[in-house]
Structure 1
């Protein structure tokens, strides 16, 4: 029977390596040759060896734990990003510690305090709306962190994400190029959400460049919920003078808008064009399928993890990384009816 108290020497003996090699494989897996690491991993599995995390932390002053705080788990984009991050960190021998903030900077700060007390080595935060106390805490404890979902090359701390203002501008420009001049927006709540705020700014800039304006009654903010998105759509679609196209803060909001439009008997995209943001899996399966801005979520979170792992290892790495956001044209957008070509039948 396998020993319940297998130690590092047992692993070294089984893998026919030194204890130093086992230690390196556990603490800095990237520094060990793949074939050697595979032998050590096999010995660890065969012996059911569990490293003593407390002892490792004392010897290396590292817990090999990365914290991540997201606004909510009720968002498919966050779930997808966390899954990609965890997969990457696991390969690097790191544990992911997750918490939520509910878009509240004070709650986020308390969660950071809890994580720091548990010895995290690095931290990933969503966006760049944080309290000064949080920044001071991370600086005093010398804990590296990265903001994901935003790209701020002018800031002295790491960011990995898209230029949200430019991406939203591109989405709105596409609708303008289709011939739409009556464009509205159902945005996410912008309070403590710089990504949502920047997307509104991008749409506003695109509209104003055409000599128009983003009319206040055509721009509504809602939480990331289908019910709230449907309520916003109901408000807009009941207006006597309503938009012919809507830019949505994310795909979930777009789903709600499309559901409400369908319920009211509108034909999409002939009566209303809808464009989303994120490119969730469901977006290509809807009927009509959703035109949206594709955000490489997996890349964003994985690169944030890479930044922290390299920084903690003392290896050079870029402080900022901008990901490309691309327009995915599907069935939910078309020229407005007034711009449609007139055809005549010849009898």
Structure 2
């Protein structure tokens, strides 16, 4: 037994580490095939790829990323920077990206900017230093230096969760302005004329700015506007939704808003909780809408009227566009629009003018 161990170590250069050749022998393939199975998996059949992975796992062999990068000028690393880890919508996007990149042998690095553009830039620079081959960032509100660095290095990138036909950047997402115009128009069709809005901060957030613009434009077309006192902006929490609703309802019943547009489901659900505590109900006393269609939004009573966005599809589309550039099939990532789906439920009904 000791001789076998010693012999095995000599075959591995005295280090005790498994070599590429041993994986190839165990999988009954060439060393080039082992390399392709990890570096270019689409060029190897699924059966062979699985055999190689099983052999590598049995031998406890892990590809040396640094060595692969030196040998091929490739790192097989992609990056994504999101604004927060506290929101499930971004988790769904990352899940979609992870699935696609993993199938193609890429590792996905994740960074969080906490809605700070400078922190987002630092995250991007750190990823570039580690050799990311592609990058996805949320929204367009980033320092020019970030996009300059990507373009100077020829690194393909996409902007996610936003879609703007006039953008200089490839966008994978939806038109935030159009989505909230549509929500507002739905409430207008229900004869609402007194509107309020409960929103997350628009600082360093181009998506929120576009959402508020969509509401404003739809109301202006109907000769209406949201009074300054009826625009609540603060943390994207249940608590802020609840306290904002309570403040709105302190106004006399004949002047207080009958329709409340919320920047996301979290804020709307907080408002609905506050309404229940104060003895008010939707759509009897007011109407309210959200955005995102969280899993709980259709299960509460009343069901929340909201917009559903397939965030996982955004991640899948983003990864596929970036991989197409990496593979040389196209020079630049192409913009792709994901159209949100308006979910009409019981929280919004006909206005009852008092």
TM-score per shorter chain, which class? Answer: over 0.9
Q: How does 1:1-347 map onto structure 2 within 5 Å?
A: 5-240=17-252, 241-316=255-330, 319-338=334-353
TM norm structure 2: 0.91
TM-superposed deviation, 1:294: 0.6
Check conservation: 2:156, 2:333, Cα contact below 8 A: no
Measure the CA separation in 2 of the matches of 1:273 and 1:330: 11
Measure the CA separation in 1 of the matches of 2:23 and 2:183: 55
Check conservation: 2:92, 2:315, Cα contact below 8 A: no
Measure the CA separation in 2 of the matches of 1:24 and 1:155: 37
RMSD, aligned CA: 1.8
Check conservation: 1:75, 1:224, Cα contact below 8 A: no
Measure the CA separation in 1 of the matches of 2:160 and 2:46: 30
Measure the CA separation in 1 of the matches of 2:164 and 2:106: 27
TM-superposed deviation, 1:318: 5.3
TM-superposed deviation, 1:129: 0.5
Measure the CA separation in 2 of the matches of 1:335 and 1:181: 11
Check conservation: 2:158, 2:333, Cα contact below 8 A: no
- Runs of at least 5 residues in structure 2 that lack an aligned partner in the other structure: 10-15
Measure the CA separation in 2 of the matches of 1:272 and 1:165: 24
Structure 1 residues 237-246 or 309-318, which shifts more? 309-318
Q: State the number of aligned residues.
A: 339
> Can you list the C-alpha shifts for 1:268-321, whole angstroms capped at 9, x where unaligned?
111111111111111112121211101110001111111112211112375100
TM-superposed deviation, 1:186: 1.1
TM-superposed deviation, 1:152: 2.4
TM-superposed deviation, 1:34: 2.1
Structure 1 residues 5-14 or 105-114, which shifts more? 5-14
TM-superposed deviation, 1:84: 2.4
TM-superposed deviation, 1:134: 1.3
> Can you list the C-alpha shifts for 1:248-287, whole angstroms capped at 9, x where unaligned?
1011111111112222211111111111111111111212
TM norm structure 1: 0.92
